[in-house]
Amino acid sequence: MLLTIDVGNSSIAGAVFNGNTIVQRSVLATPKKWSAKYFSILLPVALAQRTTAVIISSVVPAMDRDLAANIKKVIGKRALFLDHKTATGITLKIDRPSELGADRIADSAGALTLFSPPLIVIDSGTATTFDLLNARGEYCGGCIFPGIGIAIESLAEKAAKLKKITFEVPRSPVGTNTTASIRAGVYFGYIGTLQYLIDCYRKILGPKSKVVATGGLSRHFKGRVSGIDMFVPDLLFLGLKSIFEQQSPGP
């Protein structure tokens, strides 16, 4: 079995594959410091003995060393940490490939398991990212902007009269109090941004470009943003599995 791990700024998620099937999913808030107790959440003891490999997408470098040591101790194997040098089959046609987050590489690889390029990949989490793959399957860039949670928190922190506001999908774009107005502005503003960028990138890549959305917050946009072909919660894990298989020799 293969354990795939996504180490993000807000959460760490894991998925265990048995063949092509995910048999275990887990998630925990990203801790300030890694501890062995967290690994049992990602990989229960019952599955640890049957797990033969681990591949990781991490955007929190401070976590990597202790996590790697934990994995080596539990399953006796070295984890593969994805980066811009990993063989993925995707040419990175950008200025500085070393700056590209492993999560964005994994998302792109996951989308390629579902559709032929050109592709537009949207990941809505702590940050919202767009990643573009041209008709040749080359990664050619994208954009990053703050996620919904960051936008709301930042606004509340900078305004003295505002209390901490949690995100909820507003019923209307017209807020009748301060909290409702912030939620409406951020949420419907994001809808407009997503729609504009999809249209913009389809003009660049071509009208037949497929759009794949993932990330914990992407579910809030179902039915609100036109042009999204598929919502895939496990996209990053599918990408990690695909990339791992490219590293391993055939049977």
Contact 139, 91 (CB under 8 A): yes
How far does CA 200 lie from the centroid of its chain? 22
Strands (E), 111-185: 119-124, 127-133, 139-146
Angle, CA of 19, 117 and 56, to the nearest 5°: 40
Q: Quote the CA–CA distance of 34 and 32 in Å, as a whole number.
A: 7
Q: Quote the CA–CA distance of 195 and 177 in Å, as a whole number.
A: 26
Contact 132, 139 (CB under 8 A): yes
Active site residues: 103
36: left (phi over 0), alpha (psi -120 to 50) or beta: alpha
- Other C-beta atoms closer than 10 Å to the C-beta of 224 total 14
Q: Quote the CA–CA distance of 235 and 106 in Å, as a whole number.
A: 8
Q: Quote the CA–CA distance of 4 and 15 in Å, as a whole number.
A: 5
- Other C-beta atoms closer than 10 Å to the C-beta of 141 total 17
Lookup result for tokens 């807000």: 10
User: CB-hemisphere CA count at 13 Å for 74?
Assistant: 28
